[in-house]
Structure 1
Amino acid sequence: MQNLIKALTEGDTIVYPTETLYALGCDATKEAACNKVIEIKNRPKAKPLPLIIGGVDMLGLVTDDRPQVLQELASSFWPGPLSILVKALPELPASLSDDDGFTSVRWSGHPFAAELSRRLRKPIVSTSANLSGKPPVAHPEDLDSRLLDLAGAAYFDPPWPKGGKPSTVIRILSFNRLEVLREGAVSVKMLCDKGFSVTL
């Protein structure tokens, strides 16, 4: 883990496992590092970079907003593959937010990814580790060698990602009402079963 912490601290990019897929990431507070992730992936600049944290107590590093529904979602689905749009702190890099200032964040359910964020004491960018237009991967042998050559460090040891669908992305509309922007590993049914009203 130390080589990844070193790379993150120095503003470099890393490839690491999450609960669903391998991710390409960096220290989310470093604008140059975020731009490097975008360049490596050839990702559209208008598409905000998603974040992971290592616990609910780290939400304050991403947002000042703490509506009750956010707390309820976190207690029901975190740690796990539910990314929630929150109003980003103004000091965070612009590449993390949409035009309205919202970024997506989740407490990763992968023990290594969560611990990485906790040890860094910062949120980490977590976009799928694939070149733009190529499929995301869950096994280390499927990672693109060109992407690995461009990253500063990588972690290949188990537990590996489970694969399947990526994280579900939601927006909080109002008390108990959610908009699903991308249905993934957390299904609409799972959200409804917890008492949330869902719009697609």
Structure 2
Amino acid sequence: MQNLLKAMAAGEVVVYPTETLYALGCDATNAAACDKVMQIKGRTAAKPLPLIIGGVDMLGLVTDDRPSALLQLASAFWPGPLSILVRALPGLPSNLSDDDGYTSVRWSGHPFASELSRRLRRPIVATSANLGGEAPVALPEDLSPQLMEMVGAAYVDPPWPKGGKPSTVIRVLGATRLEVLRDGAVSVKKLCDKGFSVTIAEPA
């Protein structure tokens, strides 16, 4: 872990496991490092970079939002693969948020990813560790050699990602209303079982 922390502190990009897939990330407060992630992925400004944190107590590093639905969802599904849109703090890099100022954040359910954020004491970018046009991966042997040459450090030891669907991405519409922006590891049924009314966003 120390080599990843050192790399991120130096503004470099790293590869690390999450509960679902391998992630490409960096210190989310470092604008130049976030730019490097965007360049490696070939990602446009229309697709903001998602974030992970290492606990609910770190939400204040990402947002001032504290709606009751957010806290209820965090209590029910965090740590785990549920990414929630929140209004980003104004000081965060612009490529973390959409045109309305929202970014997605989750407390990762993977012990390494969570501890990485806690030890850095900052949110971490968590986009899938693959080059543009390639599939996300959950096994270390499937990581692109070209991608690995572009990063400052990587952690590929167990526990490995579980694979399957990526995190579910949701927007809070009200006290009991949600919009699913990306169907993922947390099913609509599980959200509804917690008392929420759920709608599915139209494809972009």
Is the pair's TM-score, using the shorter chain for normalization, greater than 0.5? yes
* Residue deviations 1:91-147 (CA, integer Å, cap 9, x gap): 000000000000000000000000000000000000000011110000000000000
The correspondence of residues 18-29 of structure 1 with structure 2, limited to 5 A, is: 18-29=18-29
Q: What fraction of aligned residue pairs are identical, expressed as a percent?
A: 76
Q: CA deviation at 1:46?
A: 1.9
Q: Equivalent residue for 2:39? A: 39
Q: Equivalent residue for 1:117? A: 117
The correspondence of residues 148-159 of structure 1 with structure 2, limited to 5 A, is: 148-159=148-159
What is the rounded CA distance, in whole Å, between the counterparts of 1:164 and 1:148 in structure 2?
22
* Residue deviations 1:125-177 (CA, integer Å, cap 9, x gap): 00000011110000000000000000010001100000000000000001110
**Aligned-partner SS, 2:39:** helix
The correspondence of residues 185-196 of structure 1 with structure 2, limited to 5 A, is: 185-196=185-196
* Residue deviations 1:18-73 (CA, integer Å, cap 9, x gap): 00000000000000000000001111222100000000000000000101110000
What is the rounded CA distance, in whole Å, between the counterparts of 2:196 and 2:138 in structure 1?
30
Q: Equivalent residue for 1:80? A: 80
What is the rounded CA distance, in whole Å, between the counterparts of 1:101 and 1:157 in structure 2?
36
**Aligned-partner SS, 1:162:** coil
Q: Equivalent residue for 2:2? A: 2
Count of matched residue pairs: 200
What is the rounded CA distance, in whole Å, between the counterparts of 1:41 and 1:11 in structure 2?
17
Q: Equivalent residue for 1:12? A: 12
Unaligned stretches of 5+ in structure 1?
A: none
Asked whether 1:170 is paired with 2:158, we answer no
Q: Which runs of 4+ in 1 moved over 2 A?
A: none
What is the rounded CA distance, in whole Å, between the counterparts of 1:167 and 1:137 in structure 2?
14
Q: Equivalent residue for 2:105? A: 105
2:78 is matched by which residue type in structure 1? W
Taking structure 2 as the reference length, the TM-score comes to: 0.97
Taking structure 1 as the reference length, the TM-score comes to: 0.99
Unaligned stretches of 5+ in structure 2?
A: none
What is the rounded CA distance, in whole Å, between the counterparts of 2:88 and 2:60 in structure 1?
10
**Aligned-partner SS, 1:174:** coil
What is the rounded CA distance, in whole Å, between the counterparts of 1:133 and 1:193 in structure 2?
35
